[in-house]
Amino acid sequence: MILVTGGAGFIGSNFVLDWLAGSDEPVVNLDKLTYAGNLNNLLLLRQDSRHIFVKGDIGDTTLVAGLLNRHRPRAIVHFAAESHVDRSILGPGEFITTNVNGTFSLLEAARAYQRDLSDAEQAGFRFLHVSTDEVYGSLGPDDAPFSETTAYAPNSPYSASKAASDHLVRAYHHTYGLPTLTTNCSNNYGPYHFPEKLIPLVITNALAGKDLPIYGDGQNVRDWLYVGDHCAAIRRVLLDGRPGETYNIGGWNEKTNLDVVHTLCDILDRLAPKAAGSYCDQLKFVKDRPGHDRRYAIDARKIERELGWKPAETFESGIQKTVRWYLDHQEWVRDVQSGDYMKWVEQNYGQREGSRA
């Protein structure tokens, strides 16, 4: 049995689906079901007794302690987090509550739980914390990619809250001996991605005939990691990672935001062509967000060298799969685009002056 937090979100739900597709080991899935948590992501498991879903907050110490004592998991895989930079700029408080205070509460619960395990169970127990490359700050165009020893330099409330949670996880290993593992991943994309993020936003807006907003000059660079590859990497770290260690997980796919949008438009032009013109006609440059990091890049050689993992998907193969998934799952998109989501889109993008590409 493993306990997964945030297992109804984008990466978490992909991980739960992936885990149960390849293993009979049950999953207790704890998720608060905030705006980005979606049980429709897990419909394939609705009749699967190996999946035990619990609606709840990682900060609810009584609930978490009860789940640990009842189900006796051999590992906690911690995805639960507020994760969108734009939302953290508009309202940072929730990010501190969930990412810092919530992680602290979960670590305390794990520490108390592990203390009562047998020696053999303690030796096998793991607390795997899923984090982000954004904790490292921003790179110049010629800087070496982020490694596990890169100094932290977060530049947004989101990345600062994740940096704080990383430090707590490290401290609980070194101070209390909790067998922690930390992964810092690059930008994920793939199925079930909430449409506030760049790739699903562009796909859904393009098909709806809406503007495709691009911050600033569109030259911000990200390393793109297909979510299925990320799930495989987490499984490897959980299986063979050394307690107390950090592993960077990247796709070796550095792309500018503008290149990504053009690629998406080209695929959509081929798979779902408009009556006239190209989806690129909908591109619109908008005012950049405050503190927008210029470049992220991950050096993923440590996890390849020590654990034998490397991504199976190229950006070209992964993005084709992603666009096809969204075209085949328009009902899922409609369901998640609630009134609250549309209000947020208007709040974030509606006040930004822009120009056509």
Q: Which residue has the tokens 């067998």?
A: 179
pLDDT one-digit tens code per residue, 158-192:
999 999 999 999 999 999 999 999 999 999 999 99
User: Radius of gyration over alpha carbons of the chain, in Å?
Assistant: 20
In which band, very low, low, confident or very high, does the pLDDT at 83 lie, cut at 50, 70 and 90?
confident
229 is known as an active-site residue? no
> Quick check: is 329 in a domain?
no
Q: Which domain holds residue 77?
A: 2-190+225-252+294-313
3-state secondary structure of 2: strand
Contact predicate 134/293, CB 8 Å: yes
Contact between residue 217 and residue 152 where contact means Cβ atoms under 8 Å apart: no
3-state secondary structure of 320: helix
At 356 the pLDDT is 43
| Alpha carbons 237 and 307: distance in angstroms, whole number | 7
Give the tens place of pLDDT for each residue, 264-282: 999 999 999 999 999 999 9
pLDDT band for position 13 (cuts 50, 70, 90): very high
Residue 284 lies in a domain: no
Residue 293: pLDDT above 50? yes
Mean pLDDT for 203-214 is: 96
Q: Assess whether pLDDT exceeds 50 at residue 22.
A: yes
**Residue 290 has what pLDDT?**
87
In a domain, 320, yes or no: no
Q: Mind listing the pLDDT tens digit for each residue in 323-349?
A: 999 999 999 998 887 655 445 445 543
Q: What is the pLDDT of residue 349?
A: 37
pLDDT of residue 345: 40
**158 is an active site residue:** yes
pLDDT for 357 beyond 80:
no
Kindly report, residue by residue over 60-74, the tens digit of the pLDDT.
999 999 999 999 999
The neighbour count for residue 69, using CB atoms within 10 Å, is 12
> What global pTM score does this model have?
0.92
- On the CB side of 174, CA atoms within 13 Å amount to 7
Q: Look up the CATH number of the domain holding residue 100.
A: 3.40.50.720
- Looking at 57, 86, 134, 196, which residue is catalytic? 134
Would you tell me how many other CB atoms lie within 10 Å of the CB of residue 102? 25
Tell me which of 31, 86, 133, 254 is the catalytic residue: 133
- What local confidence, expressed as pLDDT, does residue 340 receive? 54
- 7 assigned to some structural domain: yes
Can 94 be counted among the known catalytic residues?
Answer: no
Residue 151 covered by a domain: yes
* Neighbour count for residue 22 (Cβ, 10 Å): 11
- Write down the pLDDT at residue 344: 42
Q: How far are the Cα atoms of 46, 50, 226, 288, 299 from residue 192, in angstroms, in the given order? A: 16, 21, 12, 26, 26
Task: Please classify residue 195 by burial: count the beta carbons closer than 10 Å to its beta carbon, then call 0-12 exposed, 13-18 middle and 19+ buried.
Answer: buried
Quote the CA–CA distance of 261 and 219 in Å, as a whole number: 11
Domain presence at residue 171: yes
Across residues 284-305, what is the average pLDDT? 94
Q: Residue 353: inside a domain, yes or no?
A: no
Average pLDDT, the chain: 93
- Residue 310 scores a pLDDT above 70: yes
Work out the average pLDDT over 132-140.
97
Whether 215 is in a domain gets the answer no
- What pLDDT is stored for residue 330 in this prediction? 93
Domain count, the chain: 1
For residue 268, what pLDDT is reported? 98
Q: Which of 31, 82, 113, 158 is catalytic?
A: 158
